[in-house]
Each structure stands twice: as C-alpha cells, then as structure tokens.
Amino acid sequence: MKKLFICICIGVFLLVSGCSSNTEECEIGAVENPNQQEPIDGAIYKQSALDCRIPKLQVFQFNNYTSTEIKANQNTILYISEGTFQNLDGTIIDGEITFSILEMYNPGEIIACQLSTNGINSSQAIEPLLSESIFYINAEHNGNPVLMNGEIQVFIPSDNESLDLSLFVSPTCNAIDCTVLWEIVPQYSVFEEPYQDASGNIILGYRAIIDELGWYSFARFNPSTEERGILYNKAHSPYSLANSNVFLKYDSNSIGVGMFSAYDSENEVFSEKFSQIPKNTTANVIFVSKPESEFLFDSSPIVTKDGKITVTRNTKNGSERNLVDYINNL
C-alpha cells in the first residue's frame, strides 16, 4: 500500500505545476527538463571510483623481520610486529613487504570515491553508520599477494571523545575497487587511547586490533530514537544508477554518508530503499555523475522525514577537487 501511495504521489508530482528550487521544500508539481540529454554511458563515472582511490594510496616498504610503525598522511598509525606476513603457502616471508594504505576521513573524498558508511544493522537492513574513519590496507611481496600471520594494532585520529565504536569490515568484497558494504566484527573491540609521538605531541583517537587486509571502519550505529523512514530524489533523464549516484550526508561531527541503492526507472526516482533514515535529521542529499571529463553534482539541504522527495535540477560541473571541496563545505 505504501509503495502504491508513493507511486501515486510521484505521478502527481510529475503532472502538476512545479517548484523553482531544489534547496527549498518542493510543492507537488512537474519537473521540467530544459537540459535533458541523450543517454549517458556510465563507464566514465564507474571508472572514476578507481581514478579517485588509486592515486590516494600511500605506499611504504619494510623488512618483514623488522617491527614497524607506519604513520600515514592523515595520522592513521599501524604497529606491525616482525614476521606478520606470510606467503600463500604459509611460509613466513624473509624479505621486503610493500604495504599500501588508503585513508578516508572526510565526506567529500568518500563520496567522490563512491564509498559510503552504509552498513548492515541488527535487523539486517542497511543504514548509514556514523563513522570516525574509513581505510583500506594491502600488502605484497615481490608483486605477489600475501597473508597476515599475526595482528596489527591500528590507531585512527578523532576529536570525538567517549564514543562506543565497533570495528566494521567489508566481507562480501574486500578489494580496492569494491562497492563496500559494512558489517560489524563483534569479536574485536575498539578502545579509546591517544597517540603520543617522540616529541610528546598527543593526538586523540581510537585503537583496534585487526588480522586481515582489506577495508575497515571504526563506526557506530545511529543512536537516534526517532522513527525511521525512506527518502527519494528525482533527477531528470537520462540519469540512473547506471551512470550516477545519490548520497545522503548527515550534518554530524561523525561521518554519516548514505548511498541510495534503488532506482525506479518508470518514475525516474532514486531512493534509499530500506526505510532506515531517522526523521528530523539535518542532512544534504547529493547527486553525482560524470558523463564526460567533468563531474556533475548538486545538493539539497533537508530535514529528513519519511517519504520526503528532493529534486536535482541545477547541476554544477567541475573536477574531482571541485566536487570534494563543494561537499566538504556544505
């Protein structure tokens, strides 16, 4: 019944006179498409995910039989014990390890790289987690993949104190090019402990122990007790999930970035689908595509409520840097 109601609403939405701005509460009305384009090949936008992620990988080298502390650019710190890595046949590697890390600490880069904080909750529905960090790690020996033979302690910086965080991973897809969906690792705990360098400088943050390569997030489920609902975004043809994404960025000290996972081709509407967005949450709905050499993007500030529809009308265009700065300044 609810789906039928939404379809009727969207149908009316397309038939009556329309609103003039995507930044205000839209009255029911038509969405005019003065700049409607020919069909868009989504290959360029899909490729932009790797084009965003790969250059941000930081590479370190060390001997496997030497204890190592790695400090990445955004203050992710890893403590690696000697003999941590082994060959795929189980033998301990005697030689150099090439170790790489990708750090994601702001919503602009997360969205530009087509990542999100979407995670599976206890009801097996998908909701945007509140995250303090997203990072990816990998290691090789002479260009060959390796396995971890031990544990690594990881420190992530955060000025948000006294949070009840958990460790999340992406078990269904753990490679650099994955569409990441977070799942909690209940057997591992996250604890609050600052980092102090040799000069006595202190960085606030959290630590956890990890034992595999791949994607990680220090995050928590949204503690809001508000009723939850679904959101919609109308973007003019020819945009769809084949060539675009719609994100929800919470106005929060922690990073909350949802990625809409459904598209109604009949009504040309993106949706969050799982009805897991707490109402009365201040946020921005962000549309992103890349039909050619530049990104197209737009945003609509909202206070969430069940069934709310935003409209993408006046897209901006620019480079990845322009997109990241635009999102981080919302």
CATH of the domain spanning 39-49+224-328, picked from 2.60.40, 1.10.3470, 3.20.170, 3.40.50: 2.60.40
Can you give the pLDDT at residue 73?
98
Contact 17, 243 (CB under 8 A): no
Can you give the pLDDT at residue 8?
36
CA dihedral 6, 112, 102, 119 (to 10 degrees): -10
Q: Which residue has the tokens 């909690």?
A: 184
Can you give the pLDDT at residue 35?
46
Query: What residue spans define the domains of the chain?
Result: 39-49+224-328, 52-220
Contact 122, 183 (CB under 8 A): no
pLDDT along the chain (330 residues), means of 10: 44 40 43 55 96 98 97 98 96 97 98 98 96 98 96 98 98 94 96 95 98 98 97 92 98 98 93 95 98 97 97 95 98
Can you give the pLDDT at residue 10?
46
Q: Which residue has the tokens 């300044």?
A: 329
pTM of the prediction? 0.89
The topology under which CATH files domain 52-220 is Chondroitinase Ac; Chain A, domain 3 (2.60.220)
Can you give the pLDDT at residue 30?
37
Q: What is the C-alpha to C-alpha distance for residues 301 and 25, in angstroms, rounded to an integer? A: 9
Can you give the pLDDT at residue 37?
58
